[in-house]
Amino acid sequence: MLPAHTQPPLLPLPAHPPVLPIGVRRAEMVDIEGIVHLVKVHAHRGDVLPRSLRDIEHTLNDWFVAVDQTGEVFACVSLLPYSDRYAEVRSLAVDDRVKGQGYGQAVVAQLIAIARERQIPVVFALTRAVQFFLSAGFSITDKEHYPEKVFKDCSICPLLQNCDEVAVELKLTS
Ligand SMILES: CC(C)(COP(=O)(O)OP(=O)(O)OC[C@H]1O[C@@H](n2cnc3c(N)ncnc32)[C@H](O)[C@@H]1OP(=O)(O)O)[C@@H](O)C(=O)NCCC(=O)NCCS
């Protein structure tokens, strides 16, 4: 037996089965169930707004996901256009098992690439994950720059007067 100081350290047992390598792509029909689940979990925590199955189905072309080799959805985000002038980064959620491993940035990078392709001038978000968006190149702005969003969601939110979300935006064209 080795003396105690030369013993190899004990490795902690993983709490979940290991996650297989993950790729990022546009969402497909097969992803809907996984998206619904991720959004539901994060909406329950108050991190994102709820989205119905029907809404997700109808907007599927504007969703991006990170999936593992078995097809399980580990991250999602959607692009919600308001007008020719701007679109919202909406329903961004990463499974707890892979948080902090770059998947949030990866799905947002896909969304930004498609927003550029579609020549959307600005993408914005209302968020508490401000540092995450600053890391992705966004800057802090005033939510009053996005009146359609404020009218649609904020005006019916019980936290309206005590809102702790910060508006962030990324300009994609000069
Ligand atoms: C916010 C969230 C999407 C980030 O996804 P993630 O995959 O964990 O993040 P990444 O690993 O891609 O992190 C990239 C960067 O953001 C930072 N970051 C990650 N999560 C953060 C958080 N919740 N708050 C602040 N910063 C965060 C990381 O430190 C990292 O910074 P760096 O690149 O400068 O080192 C994820 O934590 C999540 O699902 N949160 C709950 C839902 C939510 O708040 N959604 C946003 C609604 S607008």
Walk along the chain (174 residues) and give the pLDDT tens digit of each residue: 445 556 666 666 556 666 777 899 999 999 999 999 999 999 999 999 999 999 999 999 999 999 999 999 999 999 999 988 999 999 999 999 999 999 999 999 999 999 999 999 999 999 999 999 999 999 999 998 988 877 777 766 766 666 789 999 999 986
pTM, two decimal places: 0.87
| Domain 20-171: CATH superfamily, name plus number | Gcn5-related N-acetyltransferase (GNAT) (3.40.630.30)
- Under 8 Å between Cβ of 40 and 50: yes
Q: Where are the domains of the chain?
A: 20-171
Nearest CA to ligand 1 atom 7: 104
Ligand 1 centroid–CA 133 distance in Å is: 8
Assigned token pair, 15: 């709490």
Our answer on whether the CB atom of 125 is closer than 6 Å to any ligand 1 atom is yes
Ligand 1 centroid–CA 103 distance in Å is: 9
Ligand 1 centroid–CA 9 distance in Å is: 30
Our answer on whether the CB atom of 102 is closer than 6 Å to any ligand 1 atom is yes
Our answer on whether the CB atom of 100 is closer than 6 Å to any ligand 1 atom is yes
Ligand 1 centroid–CA 91 distance in Å is: 13
Atom number in ligand 1 closest to CA 133: 16
- Under 8 Å between Cβ of 66 and 97: no
DSSP labels, the chain: ---GGGSPPPPPPPSSPPPPPEEEEE--GGGHHHHHHHHHHHHHTTSS----HHHHHHTGGGEEEEEETT--EEEEEEEEE-SSSEEEEEEEEE-GGGTTSSHHHHHHHHHHHHHHHTT-SEEEEEES-HHHHHHTT-EEE-GGG-HHHHHHTGGG-TTGGG---EEEEEE---
Ligand 1 centroid–CA 93 distance in Å is: 9
Nearest CA to ligand 1 atom 40: 93
